[in-house]
């Protein structure tokens, strides 16, 4: 309590800010973050996102303040200034999906399935304002069906956010596909009240120069972020698990 008093006794703005936080959150912020400018980022994010003390601790450990607004994108070039700042402060890089466990050589569909199963955790990592619309969301262009990996609506940005998952390093071809999806969503789904849709490509890794060069002449707002998964099934356990064929055989025999 003495330390809390000494930290904020002469700053009315800080007093108003920390008054909105539970006692445990304030202790954690004082203990873990000495730089008050950085501490302010976490205090404001906690209030905005409603983080529990445990979630706040995880965000501090995962360097939230370095990840927010760190994606490689063309937002400043294709969006109005007031809008680009808000979007930049919404999109992170990297995203931390440490609640997902996968084998090391996983496929995009496996990542998507687990994200759907843990959609509440995904929404928490994406941040406040994201609302889940659907996965493998079908859009029909001409006589052909296309399927968006993940579709969200952002309540504050007032726009759809198209997310494509890639279990590999970024390649320029991903931008063309995303540009197509955004055009389709804007034409077929977006209402007059909605802002232009935003694309987010999540890759296992990326080269910023390649992304910047690919986005150079693209007029749709697209961001490219990496993601991290810290939990993989050990090789020895993976090798002991039954294969998909063995599981299907067992099901057929049982039936």
Do 218 and 163 reside in the same domain of the chain?
A: yes
Do 140 and 121 belong to one domain? Answer: yes
Alpha carbons 186 and 171: distance in angstroms, whole number = 24
192 and 226 in a single domain? The answer is: yes
Three-state SS at 37: helix
For residues 117 and 22, membership in a common domain is answered with no
15: containing domain: 2-65
Domain boundary among 50, 65, 80: 65
Task: Tell me how many domains the chain contains.
Answer: 2
The residues, any chain, with a CB within 8 Å of residue 221's CB and separated by 6 or more, are 73, 74, 75, 78, 79, 87, 182, 196, 197, 198, 199
Q: Is the pTM of this model over 0.85?
A: no
Q: How confident is the model at residue 238 (pLDDT cuts 50, 70, 90)?
A: very low
Separation CA 68–CA 50 (nearest Å): 17
Q: Residue 131: what are its φ and ψ, rounded to 5°?
A: -125, 130
Greatest mean pLDDT range, 104-108, 182-186, 249-253: 182-186
Residues 87 and 211 reside in one and the same domain: yes
- Residues 136 and 186 reside in one and the same domain: yes
Which of 19, 44, 65 lies at the terminal end of a domain, its last residue? 65
Q: Looking at the structure, tell me whether residues 16 and 59 fall in a common domain.
A: yes
pLDDT, tens only, 194-213:
999 999 999 999 999 999 99
């Amino acid at each position: 309590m003495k330390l809390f008093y000494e930290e904020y006794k002469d700053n009315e703005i800080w007093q108003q800010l920390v008054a909105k936080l539970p006692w445990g959150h304030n202790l954690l912020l004082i203990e873990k973050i000495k730089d008050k400018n950085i501490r302010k980022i976490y205090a404001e994010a906690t209030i905005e996102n409603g983080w529990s003390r445990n979630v706040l601790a995880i965000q501090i450990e995962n360097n939230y303040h370095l990840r927010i607004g760190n994606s490689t994108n063309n937002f400043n070039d294709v969006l109005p200034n007031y809008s680009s700042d808000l979007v930049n402060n919404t999109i992170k890089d990297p995203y931390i999906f440490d609640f997902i466990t996968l084998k090391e050589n996983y496929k995009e569909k496996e990542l998507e399935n687990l994200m759907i199963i843990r959609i509440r955790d995904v929404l928490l990592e994406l941040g406040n304002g994201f609302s889940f619309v659907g996965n493998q969301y079908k859009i029909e262009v001409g006589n052909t069906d296309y399927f968006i990996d993940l579709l969200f609506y952002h309540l504050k940005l007032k726009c759809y956010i198209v997310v494509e998952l890639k279990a590999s390093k970024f390649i320029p071809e991903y931008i063309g596909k995303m540009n197509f999806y955004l055009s389709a969503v804007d034409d077929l789904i977006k209402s007059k009240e909605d802002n232009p849709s935003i694309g987010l490509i999540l890759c296992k890794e990326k080269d910023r120069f390649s992304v910047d060069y690919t986005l150079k002449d693209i007029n749709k707002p697209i961001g490219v972020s990496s993601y991290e998964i810290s939990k993989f099934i050990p090789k020895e356990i993976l090798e002991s698990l039954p294969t998909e064929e063995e599981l299907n055989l067992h099901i057929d025999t049982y039936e």
